[in-house]
Amino acid sequence: MAVTTYIVDKDGNQIDASTATVPTNRDFRGAWSLSGSVISEDMDKAKEIFKDKIREVRAPLLEAKDVELMKALETSADTSAIANATTITELKASWDTATLGDNPYA
């Protein structure tokens, strides 16, 4: 007997996973949104995931200067690049390697 895997959206609707169109990149899986049988990235959610990754990486490196760094990020072009990103590729490119080190999304 074959086992069918279902994908359930936030409203409880379900589809057969084998019929779904799924993004090839899983870096922002937490930002996926189901519409019919198509799964796409919700850019607003992806941006929040990206910002959370920045916070995670900088915490041990910049704990003592956290307030100063956040003020600087909020007024810099890097944060603007996050806000203005319209694609996952643009969002990944906005990682500030000078401050945060290697880009985990590269």
- Mean pLDDT, the chain, rounded, equals 84
Mean pLDDT for the stretch of residues 95-99: 85
> What gap in Å lies between CA 86 and CA 80, rounded to an integer?
12
Give the C-alpha distances (Å, rounded to integers) separating 49 from 1, 5, 64, 67, 95. 39, 26, 23, 20, 12
Does 81 score more than 60 pLDDT?
yes
Task: Answer whether 0.75 is exceeded by the pTM.
Answer: no
For the stretch 11-27, pLDDT in tens is 788 888 888 898 888 89
For the stretch 35-69, pLDDT in tens is 888 888 999 999 999 999 998 988 887 776 667 66
Does 79 score more than 70 pLDDT?
no
Nearest to 51 by CA among 20, 36, 73, 75: 73
Nearest to 50 by CA among 9, 21, 24, 89: 89
